[in-house]
């Protein structure tokens, strides 16, 4: 399966799933515990990314220990961060370092010596065919001193010590909070999540439950406080407009918006997951607008797979939309949660009702019998989905 | 290293670029910056129609196998499988040579257009890719900076026509070095996609719809998160896309850099300097996987007609490594930036870098 087919598959799955939170959590883990198809053992091994993706989905709300154990021994990860090349005599530092810096503790909580010791403890895992396996005879069984503890440690000990380290819940809960709520959370914001992590035996489902029920999650501060990621924007618009397509072309659009699934820019994941402002620049902004234009008015993804634009007359008829006001209210009710102030609502209605001529005199007829130029009707929906509000979560 | 401007734009080459060879855009942007500087613009003054291209080699480029100290027996001893045999090294002098894949750079060396700055780094490296990239780009040695050194530079440039093309970024993500708090830099993956498509049913080429959209951005409540970002992004896109397409329509020749007469087809041979960097070099001693772990100091290349050929900085000592077996840096990366700012871009390095870090003589005093 080519990477673009994998990307298309996942984007459509996100658009049509009955469990959006599960897909979002899977995306969260993909952006934290990073691998990329570019380094999983060559083109014939791209399927390893799908194995990893299914792992994240199956264990999205498992304990952090299980998630770390699974990803440490995941074939794609073993390749991506070189653990498969690490040997008893010559431990490779790469996975050990990123495991601490980017997956669990963060800089400042470990030394270069801890990197050496963890690398030695992690030896023994290798990719064999489509799976991974542990070779005890290739495990370095000298005594290690890792983060202040001494023993003949192996990969399970490394994961245990890291999952129980006091810095870990703060690190992972900060990432989770930033991804789902808002940026720069305070210690007070994070403490309930950290407490849940400790009390629940590191259960991420319980942590997520605490997060979703927290006053912060439903606060005004959290509302429209993050720029949607390209993937959220693409899947969200696709689902909202009920686009029935093969998803051809979506991977390239996603790339131009700055996010390629199964290929984060580096092991630190997408910078936009941390600071969502970086998703937006003039180039990616125009790609967002052109994507909406494509769904609404062009309806074609590639030369060989032509789709129709959305059937706006059908939507108007099916929902008995009887006035320009009704049209704006109908679409903003689910695209902007109905949160539109009077002045901005008036701007949409203004655009809708301005006299104009559509090419070929195409028009849309509302239930009140009045016809309006197609470009004005469609343009109003475009404005809603291109608006500042719709760029934000 | 065949970089055509078109290839870079088409393929989204990983490059940070503060100015590309796009004459109609940059001569004007830079010329007007110079005019404004007389009235006291904030940071930068342009000395003339000059372009800096910055190439980032992300991931930690192995400096020792790029610029090879082939005469040093320690190099061969510590890299039993990875060292490049003397017979393959492209010799530059009796001490240093280039990796065999870098033959085009040898031509530049022979033509007198290549400088190598040795041992470049900074104190207390954490060996983290990401902290190192942050430091190189934002100059904050804690790795918590949010404004790029080039972004800070160009935010001081004022184009009297209000055009955003004082600098541009190739790709889909604005490089951190170009991150600017006050003046977002256009980020472009291709000329074709850097435009807003009109509704095919529009008879005015989408103008009315775009105006209505700009009004929605302009009137978005200023107190909302990202209000300013959204507004300036929209403005920069609207204006920049027109300008870029005009420039592209006038562009004809495809030229390969840096081979051949450097950018000479544009009559700009004397106007371009290229600087390369990577967040760190690799460890001196190879690891057991026929690879190298994270390292510290590494060489930088600076290329261009006006560049003084030679090696600058100080060679790091392979016999005197730090506790992790890494090179001790000899040359502060900020002294390289300072040289380019002061001697090439006509800016005040003290203002951009926030201090004095010395200079290297790979560019002549202006």
DSSP for residue A392: B
* Spatial separation of the C-alpha atoms in residues A21 and B196, rounded to whole Å: 33
Among A344, A358, A389, the residue with its CB nearest the CB of B201 is A358
For residue A99, pLDDT beyond 70: yes
Q: What is the pLDDT of residue B250?
A: 61
Mean residue pLDDT across chain B: 78
* CB pair distance less than 8 Å for A85 and B291: yes
* CB pair distance less than 8 Å for A285 and B237: yes
* Spatial separation of the C-alpha atoms in residues A132 and A76, rounded to whole Å: 9
**pLDDT tens digits for range B38-59:** 222 222 223 346 778 888 888 8
Q: What is the pLDDT of residue A303?
A: 47
Task: Compute CA distances A200 → A22, A174, A207, A242, B285, whole Å.
Answer: 20, 17, 8, 39, 45
* CB pair distance less than 8 Å for A296 and B217: no
What sign does the CA torsion over B156, B157, B158, B164 have? negative
For residue B33, pLDDT beyond 60: no
Please give the average per-residue pLDDT across A370-393, as a whole number. 97
For residue A386, pLDDT beyond 90: yes
**pLDDT tens digits for range B8-29:** 332 222 222 323 333 233 333 3
Please give the average per-residue pLDDT across A94-121, as a whole number. 96
* Spatial separation of the C-alpha atoms in residues B170 and B8, rounded to whole Å: 7
**pLDDT tens digits for range B142-152:** 877 778 898 88
* CB pair distance less than 8 Å for B216 and A265: no
Q: What beta strand segments (E) does chain B contain?
A: 16-18, 51-56, 67-68, 90-91, 97-98, 114-121, 169-170, 187-188, 272-277, 298-303, 310-313, 331-332
Q: DSSP string covering B38-70, please? A: HT--SS----SS-EEEEEE-TTT--GGGTEE-T
The more confident residue out of B61 and B4 is B61
Please give the average per-residue pLDDT across B226-233, as a whole number. 86
Tell me if residue A359 falls in helix, strand or coil.
helix
- The dihedrals phi and psi of A338, each to the nearest 5 degrees, come to 70, 10
Tell me if residue A92 falls in helix, strand or coil.
coil
Q: What is the pLDDT of residue A323?
A: 98
The more confident residue out of B179 and A253 is A253
Mean residue pLDDT across chain A: 95
**pLDDT tens digits for range A344-353:** 999 999 999 9
| Beta carbons of A40 and A48 less than 8 angstroms apart | yes
In angstroms, the separation between the Cα of residue A57 and the nearest Cα of chain B is 27
| Beta carbons of A234 and A10 less than 8 angstroms apart | no
Nearest to A121 by CA among A101, A142, A104, A137: A142
For residue A20, pLDDT beyond 80: yes
Task: Compute CA distances A273 → A103, A191, A266, A268, B172, whole Å.
Answer: 14, 21, 13, 10, 15
Count A/B contacts: CB-CB distance under 8 Å.
183
Nearest to A180 by CA among A228, A138, A140: A228
Residue carrying structure tokens 């005594």: A143
Q: What is the pLDDT of residue B157?
A: 62
In B, minimum Cα distance to A82 occurs at: B289
């Amino acid at each position: 399966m080519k990477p673009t087919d994998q990307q298309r598959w996942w984007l459509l799955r996100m658009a049509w799933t009955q469990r959006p939170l599960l897909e979002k959590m899977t995306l969260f883990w993909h952006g934290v515990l990073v691998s990329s198809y570019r380094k999983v053992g060559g083109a014939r091994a791209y399927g390893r990314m799908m194995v990893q993706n299914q792992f994240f989905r199956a264990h999205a709300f498992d304990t952090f220990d299980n998630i770390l154990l699974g990803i440490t021994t995941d074939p794609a990860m073993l390749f991506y961060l070189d653990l498969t090349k690490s040997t008893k005599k010559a431990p490779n530092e790469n996975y050990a370092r990123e495991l601490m810096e980017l997956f669990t503790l963060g800089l400042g909580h470990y030394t270069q010596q801890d990197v050496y010791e963890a690398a030695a403890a992690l030896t023994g895992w290798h990719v064999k065919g489509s799976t991974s396996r542990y070779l005890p005879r290739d495990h370095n069984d000298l005594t290690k001193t890792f983060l202040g503890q001494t023993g003949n440690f192996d990969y399970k000990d490394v994961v245990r010590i890291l999952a129980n380290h006091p810095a870990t819940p703060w690190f992972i809960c900060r990432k989770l909070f930033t991804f789902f709520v808002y940026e720069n959370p305070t210690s007070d914001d994070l403490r309930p999540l950290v407490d849940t992590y400790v009390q629940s035996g590191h259960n991420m489902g319980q942590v997520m439950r605490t997060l979703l029920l927290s006053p912060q999650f439903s606060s005004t501060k959290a509302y429209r406080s993050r720029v949607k990621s390209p993937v959220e924007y693409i899947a969200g618009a696709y689902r909202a407009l009920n686009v029935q397509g093969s998803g051809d072309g979506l991977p390239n659009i996603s790339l131009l918006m700055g996010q390629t699934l199964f290929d984060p820019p580096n092991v630190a994941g997408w910078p936009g997951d941390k600071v969502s402002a970086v998703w937006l620049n003039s180039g990616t902004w125009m790609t967002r607008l052109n994507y909406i234009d494509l769904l609404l008015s062009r309806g074609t993804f590639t030369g060989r797979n032509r789709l129709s634009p959305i059937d706006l007359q059908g939507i108007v008829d099916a929902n008995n939309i009887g006035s320009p006001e009704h049209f704006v209210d109908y679409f903003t009710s689910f695209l902007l949660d109905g949160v539109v102030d009077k002045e901005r609502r008036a701007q949409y209605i203004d655009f809708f009702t301005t006299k104009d001529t559509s090419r070929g005199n195409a028009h849309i007829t509302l239930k009140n019998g009045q016809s309006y130029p197609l470009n004005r009707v469609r343009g109003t929906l475009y404005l809603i989905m291109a608006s500042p509000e719709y760029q934000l979560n | 290293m065949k970089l055509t401007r078109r290839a870079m734009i088409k393929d989204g080459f990983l490059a940070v670029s503060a100015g590309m060879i796009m004459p109609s855009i940059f001569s004007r942007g830079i010329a007007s910056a110079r005019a404004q500087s007389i009235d006291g613009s904030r940071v930068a003054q342009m000395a003339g129609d000059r372009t800096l291209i910055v190439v980032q080699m992300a991931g930690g480029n192995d400096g020792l196998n790029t610029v090879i100290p082939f005469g040093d027996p320690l190099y061969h001893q510590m890299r039993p499988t990875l060292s490049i045999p003397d017979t393959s090294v492209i010799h530059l002098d009796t001490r240093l040579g280039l990796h065999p894949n870098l033959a085009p750079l040898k031509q530049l060396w022979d033509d007198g257009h290549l400088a190598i700055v040795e041992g470049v780094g900074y104190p207390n490296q954490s060996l983290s890719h990401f902290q190192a990239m942050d430091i190189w780009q934002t100059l904050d040695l804690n790795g918590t900076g949010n404004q790029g050194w080039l972004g800070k530079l160009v935010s001081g440039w004022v184009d009297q026509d209000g055009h955003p093309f004082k600098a541009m970024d190739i790709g889909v993500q604005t490089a951190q070095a170009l991150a600017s708090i006050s003046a977002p830099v256009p980020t472009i993956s291709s000329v074709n996609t850097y435009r807003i498509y009109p509704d095919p049913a529009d008879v005015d080429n989408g103008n009315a719809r775009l105006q209505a959209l700009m009004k929605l951005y302009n009137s978005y409540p200023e107190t909302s998160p990202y209000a300013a970002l959204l507004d300036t992004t929209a403005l920069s896109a609207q204006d920049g896309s027109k300008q870029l397409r005009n420039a592209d329509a006038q562009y004809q020749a495809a030229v390969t850099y840096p081979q051949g007469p450097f950018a000479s087809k544009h009559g700009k041979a004397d106007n371009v300097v290229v600087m390369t960097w990577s967040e760190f070099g690799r460890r001196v001693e190879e690891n057991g996987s026929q690879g190298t772990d994270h390292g510290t100091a590494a060489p930088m290349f600076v290329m261009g007609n006006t560049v003084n050929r030679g090696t600058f900085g100080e060679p790091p000592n392979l016999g005197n490594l730090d506790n992790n077996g890494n090179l001790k840096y000899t040359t502060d990366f900020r002294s390289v930036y300072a040289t380019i700012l002061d001697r090439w871009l006509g800016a005040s390095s003290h203002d951009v870098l926030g201090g004095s870090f010395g200079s290297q003589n790979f560019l002549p005093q202006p």
